[in-house]
Structure 1
Amino acid sequence: MTTPLKIILGVVAVGFLFLAGLAIALIGSYNGLVALDQGVSSSWANVETSYQRRADLIPNLVATVSGAANFEKSTLTDITEARAKVGQVTLPAGTAPTQAQLAAFQQAQAGLGGALSRLLVVAEKYPDLKASENFRDLQAQIEGTENRIAVARNNFNVVAQQYNTAIRRFPAVLYAPLLGFKERAYFAAAAGAETAPKVQFDFNSNSNPPTPVK
């Protein structure tokens, strides 16, 4: 075999190995993005489930406090309307929302959370209601649900940011946009948005005002 031929074959071999290595790297990078993308969708599903659990508790809560004599009707109307607005937000099925969709979702949920907190504060004025075992059980379930929401939101933000970082790295940055890997929205750090609204009740007293828990 002549020397020029050996050189050509050597160059071809090196080129082949380079392309093979590049292909392996691209495949690994692509599979990693797919896994991260699925993680974002899964984390978002947990967020929706947590918020839905809170929404599902509202009818029972409204029914319970409605039984209290002369309970403020405007408060019940506010929370019922806020829950209805949450149901009007349209989100894509099986995947995380866009920035605009997430903003609308977050605004509606914040409205419901505020109405819920106000209802619990007003309920402090009704000793018979505070003494109700059903109401106390619901209040405990709501507090637990708010904690689940906070955890689910935080987990979603972590996974979404990991995904967003990955699509900006080499070599993913070269092909990610072409294959539909777009940046994911995540919850903004709005004032008070990350803290679950809690109201602590003194069920042994009929006169003490509610104490917000920070």
Structure 2
Amino acid sequence: MRSKRLGILLSGRGSNFLAIADAIASGKLAGVEIAVVISNKVDAPGLAAARERGLNAVAIETRGRKRAEHDSEIVACLHEYQVDLVCLAGYMRLLSQEFVAAFPQRILNIHPSLLPAFPGLDAQRQTLEYGAKVAGCTMHFVDEQLDHGVIILQKTVPVLDSDDEHTLAARILEQEHIAYAEAIARVLSEKYQIVGRRYLAEA
């Protein structure tokens, strides 16, 4: 049986991409391989890191292009590499409806808050300004709305009185790296069902 193939989308350094790659290399994610890493920025450090690891790395720039056209090219690339699951790892663009429809319940994203609290940018700052006592990260399926799809799993961290955005973000990021590999394994196992907005693992 062939390995399950991941397509990674990133816009920056891609620390979650590296955590996924490490989980595959260590055997924590068995039967999984990264088929292609795609960025909307030619100079994204994550692309360079992918090449250093001998992975297929493709830049598909957004500049001066309509979203639908850009997304169509990415979808074509993902199909070319026979991707089973799309993983957004710091990909800083909303996906078009056509993109989401091309991979139904097969696009994952991670967000540095306990959704539905604090969606969008600067989630750690939002958490601190609100005075929340618990923070964390959320792995979810991607739909057409921002940080809205069905939640697969969440990890929590306490908010310390001494925290600023950077210290809180660093502790959340540690949990993100754990959560992403766990969510990939869960989804690829196909041992779950979605009822309404609830992800339910099968016994």
Q: Which has the larger radius of gyration?
A: 1
Higher relative contact order (CA 8 A, sep 6+): 1
Instruction: Give the TM-score taking structure 2 as reference length.
Output: 0.21
Higher strand share: 2
